[in-house]
Amino acid sequence: MIIDKDGNVTVITQEKASVFELIKKLDVVYNRYKNDNIIISLTSLKAIPLEEVIEFLQLSNTHRKAKHSFVIVSDKVNLDEMPDEILVVPTIKEAYDIIEMEEMERDLGF
């Protein structure tokens, strides 16, 4: 797990281990990053089934309720299968764009 901080955005990249291992690690370090917008980059992993992406749902919901963005990046998932409750985009650029839009919405009171 590689963690990069860029202003109020923390990018967490998973290189080798499984999604389940990443979620366990995130639970341990979450308090350090709970006030940042979080991007989870899974671009180096092989195809990721819907069941594994859904494992992020609880963490995503908790983070979004606290008025912070939580975006998963993977170009190896079927975006049509993803539930609306979790944000999955194919590129890091799109993740930053989502965060920028959500911050504008929060600033406007939405």
Residue-range domains of the chain with CATH: 2-107 (3.30.750.24)
Phi first, then psi: give them for residue 100, nearest 5 degrees: -60, -45
Question: What global pTM score does this model have?
Answer: 0.90
Residue 15's pLDDT is 81
Q: Model confidence over 81-101: pLDDT tens digits?
A: 888 899 999 999 999 999 999
- The three-point CA angle 25-47-3 to 5° equals 30
